[in-house]
């Protein structure tokens, strides 16, 4: 009896434990099924609960501090290569003979470009997230001065007389002209939207500045991206070359004779219902050419082929003999070699009309593409040795420089920059994010529509059930880990689900990510995409007077007429800090006739100033328009009682919103 009792207890315990295990298993299964929208996910808790740790010891253990080489410059004698380590916040000095890193200079946050003075002794490095340029004495390897710029300084160019430094302010969309004698900014010129690159023509008479985002265009009209021409003599903008239906013009180069300037670009198909990838229906990639003759004709040609795409062209360099151009396709891990004489012949024999036709032609590239040279992950900056014999390629997600012979067009060696040897899960995810291998025929990467993991400023016709319906404004991916659900219709409860099977069915249209890949991608998206500091509108946390007034309006509970605003219609109800979203679905009266009836995900508002246009379908070109044009019924917050200056204050406050971390422990926001 006693024995039996014991046995009974043991058995009972076992049953309970196994029941527990079974139920825990069951609960986990349910949870995982819900979060991933599949039912065969291996119940691997690490996937979502370890790799996505943003801080703490675990995060430290599973992550690494990579260098991520980005842009480069070479010393006038060719002996040194200067490499911007974008994630390492450093300028690396590489000896091109020994292939060794010989120096490392700490620079400001998120450096972008480096320019070397012709004497080889001084470098200037733009710190994109610090709004300044460092002057570096290369003999001492020391930062000797800091030059204030506009917001988001990117590429640097010396004026032909070397007296001025032109700094492309990528965030404030300007070019700062800095007097190198007084070290002060003398003026800012308006450039295109999100300009990045600047280069002077060989004769020094003008500078070309390319930009990435489209100019603000009316709703449902094609993007137009500007190349700004600055006259060196007057230091004023002389002309603005418009590239229809193109964007992301990352870099530009002149031929040595100056007969052409060539920029990289992408030709998106955002206005066409996204019903297929085949035949270039989503994205095409290529170059923009400005002829010096022919009244400065603007031409666009693709570097893609009918069944093979080469996404995210980034940098372009042209050999000193003017015969070849090299383009880094950062989404395809390929360098394309272009025969410039073939381009010249094509241009000479073609009318503008023909060239316009060619701008959508996937076969024409056979005429001028000499070769595709494979590279390591995510090739970005390119630079040629002064003699033109070697091409250096910054393999960003490889922490490596490839050296390619420009004569036999083969990779002759690679230079290891001594980054971490381990490839973390998040790093693998970042490679996946940047690479188009998971899209049918390599047509685009995640990065293509989410450049810098942000958004591309376009509205896509995502064609739900029917075509021409449910337009979707691309959303930023910065710091979105804690802002579920995802998609404007909020259908995805997790990033895991967002990037799962359905994603491949309607977007990439090729084989879905496997679970390891999904783990990696999610880890990168959750931990690796940060908001830049809001240096333009809120550098220190001290609000301006207008922002303070705007904050009061944001948190107000009564209208100007003293009427109480219902809680559901107060700004802070749906948009509470730290993310300024309550993560709920709601209707603010912004659905249009072409939208299926649905509730919309309340978007987070951190760094909202960086994401025009606004609303789920991008109808509002500016923040003001949210209320002046699309809130007639006061459904998107009560605003129609406000005076114009109050609206301005509210907008100023919204522009001040920055990364969520600033609001998490601020008692004022709780």
Partner 1 sequence: MNPMKIIFRIGYIVAIGLASLCLNSCRNQSLEGMVVFTRVPAGNFDIHGKAIAHKYKGAQIVAINPDKPGVPEIILTPDFYSACSPDISYDAKHLLFTAQQKENDSWQVWEMNLENKTSKKITHFEESCYGPAYLPGGRLVFSRQMPETGTGPVHALYTMDLDGSNVSQITFQPHFDYTTTVLHDGRILMLTKQLFPQPGDMMYMAIRPNGTKTELFYKGPGSSILNNQVYETGDGFVYFIEWENGNPNSGDIISINQNRPLFTKVNLTSGITGSFYSVLPRQSGGMLVSYRPSDAGPVGLYSFSVEDKSLGAPIYKQPGYYVIEPVLVEAFTRPKNLPDDTNPEKSTGLLLCQDINVIAQPDDAGLSDNAKATKVEVLGIDKSMGIVPVEDDGSFYLKVIADTPIRFQTLDKDGNILYGPSGWIWIRPFERRGCVGCHQDPELAPNNVVPLSVKKPPVSIPVEDSYETEQSPTIKSLNKNEKE
Partner 2 sequence: MKPKIQALLFFIFAILFSVLDVNGQEHKMNYGKTPDDMIPYGRFQKAYINFFDKPQAFTGAGREKAPPTDLTEVRIGFLGPLEGSAMVPQGIQMLQGATLAVDEANKKGGYNGLPFKIMPHNDVGLWGAAANEVVKMDDEKVWAFLGSIDGINTHVALRVTFKLEIPMVNTGDPDPTLTETRIPWVIRCISDDRQSSYALVNYIYRKKGHSRVAVLRVDSRYGRVGILEFKDAVLRIGYPLVLEVRYAEGDTDFTTQIQRMIDSSPDAIVLWGNAKETALIIKQIRKMGMKQPIFGSDRLMSPELLKIAGKDAEGLVTTCQYNPTLNDSALQAFNKNYYDKYGMEPDVFAAHAYDGMNIIIDAIHKVGLNRVLIRDVLTDLKTFQGYKGVTGKIIFDASWNDIGSIWMAEVRDGKFVFFPPSPLTYDKPANNKSTSE
Partner 3 sequence: MKTTIQKFAAGAKIFSLIILGGCFLGFTTDVNKSDLEVPATKSIKTDIKKELGVMPVYGNWKTFTKEDGLPADKAFCVRIDGERVLVGTNAGLAVYENNEWKTYTVEDGLAHSGVISIDVSELTGDIWIGTLGGLTRWSAGRFYTFTQFNSGLPNDVIYSVVCDGKDVWVATGGGAGHYDTYTEEWGIYTERNAPMHEPWTYGVCAGGNKIWIAAWGGGVIEYNPKTKGFRDYTDPDGEMEIDLFPDDGVVHNITTGVSYADDILWVGTYFGLSRYDGTHWKGYFDHDSGLISNFINFVKADGSVVWLCTDLGLSSFDGDTWVSYQKDKNSKKGKILITNDSGLKEVDAPTSISHNFVSGVDIQGDNIWLATSKGVCRGEKLK
Contacts 24+ apart (CB under 8 A), 128-135: 128/152, 128/153, 128/154, 128/170, 128/171, 128/532, 129/532, 129/533, 129/535, 130/535, 131/535, 132/108, 133/165, 133/167, 133/178, 134/107, 134/108, 135/183
> How many residues belong to the site for partner 1 (CB under 8 A)?
47
Structure tokens that stand for 255 in this block: 């031929």
Q: Among residues 579 and 627, whose Cβ is nearest to partner 2?
A: 627
Q: Among residues 245 and 606, whose Cβ is nearest to partner 1?
A: 245
Binding pattern for the stretch 26-55 against partner 1, x by CB under 8 A and - elsewhere: ------------------------------
Please name every residue paired with 267 in a beta bridge, in sequence order, or none if there are none.
Answer: 284
Q: Among 48, 246, 355, 651, which residue sits at the site for partner 3 (rule: CB under 8 A)?
A: 651
Q: What is the DSSP string of 69-102?
A: EEEEEE-TTSSEEEEEETTTTEEEEEETTTTEEE
CA distance 534 to 263: 29
Residue 628: CB minimum distance to partner 2, A: 4
Q: Among 333, 455, 519, 652, which residue sits at the site for partner 3 (rule: CB under 8 A)?
A: 652
Distances (CA, A) of 231 to 206, 208, 239, 509: 5, 9, 9, 46
Q: Among 160, 648, 661, 669, which residue sits at the site for partner 3 (rule: CB under 8 A)?
A: 648
CA 617 to chain centre: 20
Q: Does 647 bind partner 3 (CB under 8 A)?
A: yes
Binding pattern for the stretch 199-228 against partner 3, x by CB under 8 A and - elsewhere: ----------------xx---------x-x
Of the ranges 303-311, 480-488, 627-635, 661-669, which one interacts with partner 1 (CB under 8 A)? 303-311
CA 420 to chain centre: 24
Q: Does 633 bind partner 2 (CB under 8 A)?
A: no
Distances (CA, A) of 602 to 552, 618, 636: 21, 14, 11
Residue 320: other Cβ atoms inside 10 A: 14
CB of 601 closer than 8 Å to CB of 582: no
Of the ranges 177-185, 380-388, 508-516, 627-635, which one interacts with partner 2 (CB under 8 A)? 627-635
Q: Among 644, 665, 667, 668, which residue sits at the site for partner 2 (rule: CB under 8 A)?
A: 644
Q: Does 628 bind partner 2 (CB under 8 A)?
A: yes
Q: Among 42, 562, 597, 667, which residue sits at the site for partner 2 (rule: CB under 8 A)?
A: 562
Q: Does 632 bind partner 2 (CB under 8 A)?
A: yes
632's contact among partner 3, partner 1, partner 2, none, with CB below 5 to 8 A by partner kind, is: partner 2
Q: What is the 3-state secondary structure of 432-470?
A: HHHCHHHCHHHCCCHHHHCHHHCCCCCEEECCCCCCCCC
Q: Among residues 143 and 621, whose Cβ is nearest to partner 3?
A: 621
441's contact among partner 2, partner 3, partner 1, none, with CB below 5 to 8 A by partner kind, is: partner 1
Q: Does 121 bind partner 3 (CB under 8 A)?
A: no
Q: What is the DSSP string of 562-586?
A: SPBPPGGGSHHHHS-TTTT--S-EE
Near partner 1 in 446-505, by CB under 8 A: 461, 463, 466-468, 501, 504-505
Residues near partner 2 (CB under 8 A): 561-562, 627-628, 632, 640, 644, 647
């Amino acid at each position: 009896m006693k024995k039996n009792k014991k046995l009974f207890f043991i058995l009972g315990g076992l049953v309970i434990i196994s029941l527990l295990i079974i139920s825990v298993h069951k609960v986990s299964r349910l949870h995982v099924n819900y979060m991933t929208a599949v039912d065969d996910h291996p119940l691997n808790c690490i996937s979502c609960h370890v790799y996505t740790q943003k801080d703490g010891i675990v995060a430290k253990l599973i992550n690494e501090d990579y260098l991520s080489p980005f842009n480069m410059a070479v010393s006038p004698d060719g002996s040194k290569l200067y490499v911007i380590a974008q994630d390492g916040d450093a300028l690396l000095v590489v000896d091109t003979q020994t292939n060794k890193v010989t120096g490392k200079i700490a620079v400001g946050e998120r450096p972008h470009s480096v320019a070397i003075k012709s004497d080889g002794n001084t470098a200037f490095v733009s710190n994109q997230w610090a709004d300044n340029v460092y002057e570096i004495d290369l003999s001492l390897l020391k930062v000797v001065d800091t030059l204030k710029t506009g917001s988001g300084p990117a590429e640097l160019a010396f004026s032909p007389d070397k007296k001025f430094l032109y700094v492309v302010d990528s965030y404030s969309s300007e070019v700062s002209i800095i007097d190198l004698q007084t070290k002060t900014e003398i003026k800012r010129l308006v450039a295109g939207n999100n300009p990045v690159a600047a280069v002077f023509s060989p004769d020094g008479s003008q500078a070309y500045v390319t930009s990435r985002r489209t100019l603000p265009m009316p709703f449902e009209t094609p993007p137009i991206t500007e190349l700004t021409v600055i006259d060196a003599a007057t230091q004023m903008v002389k002309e603005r070359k418009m590239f229809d239906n193109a964007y992301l013009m990352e870099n530009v180069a002149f031929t040595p004779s100056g007969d052409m300037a060539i920029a990289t670009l992408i030709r998106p198909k955002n206005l066409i219902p996204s019903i297929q990838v085949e035949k270039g229906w989503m994205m095409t990639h290529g170059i923009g050419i400005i002829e010096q003759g022919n009244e400065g004709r603007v031409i666009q040609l693709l570097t893609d082929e009918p069944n093979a795409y080469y996404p995210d062209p980034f940098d372009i360099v042209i050999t000193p003999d003017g015969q070849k151009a090299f383009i880094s396709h950062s989404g395809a891990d390929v360098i394309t070699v272009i025969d410039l004489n073939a381009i010249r012949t094509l241009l000479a024999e073609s009318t503008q009309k023909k060239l316009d036709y060619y701008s959508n032609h996937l076969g024409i590239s056979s005429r001028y593409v000499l070769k595709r040279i494979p590279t390591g992950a995510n090739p970005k900056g390119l630079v040629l040795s002064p003699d033109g014999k070697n091409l250096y390629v910054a393999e960003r997600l490889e922490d490596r420089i490839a050296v390619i012979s420009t004569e036999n067009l083969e990779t002759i060696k690679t230079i290891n920059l001594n980054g971490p040897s381990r490839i973390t899960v998040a790093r693998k995810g970042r490679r996946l994010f940047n690479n188009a291998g998971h899209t049918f025929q390599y047509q685009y990467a995640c990065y293509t529509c989410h450049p810098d993991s942000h958004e591309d400023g376009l509205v896509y016709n995502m064609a739900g059930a029917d075509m021409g319906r449910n337009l979707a404004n691309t959303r930023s991916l910065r710091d979105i880990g804690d802002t579920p659900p995802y998609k404007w219709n909020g259908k995805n409860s997790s990033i895991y689900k967002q990037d799962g099977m359905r994603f491949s069915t309607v977007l990439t249209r090729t084989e879905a990510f496997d679970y390891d890949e999904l783990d990696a991608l999610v880890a990168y998206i959750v931990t690796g995409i940060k908001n830049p500091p809001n240096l333009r509108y809120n550098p220190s946390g001290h609000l301006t007077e207008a922002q303070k007034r705007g904050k009061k309006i944001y948190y107000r509970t009564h209208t100007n007429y003293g009427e109480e605003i219902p809680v559901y219609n107060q700004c802070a109800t749906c948009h509470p800090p730290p993310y300024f979203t309550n993560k709920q679905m709601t209707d603010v009266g912004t659905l249009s006739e072409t939208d299926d009836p649905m509730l919309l995900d309340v978007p987070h508002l951190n760094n909202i100033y960086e994401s025009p246009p606004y609303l789920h379908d991008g109808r509002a070109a500016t923040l003001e328009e949210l209320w002046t044009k699309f809130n007639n019924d006061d459904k998107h917050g009560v605003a129609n009682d406000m005076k114009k200056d109050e609206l301005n204050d509210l907008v100023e406050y919204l522009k001040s919103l920055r990364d969520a971390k600033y609001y998490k422990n601020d008692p004022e926001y709780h």
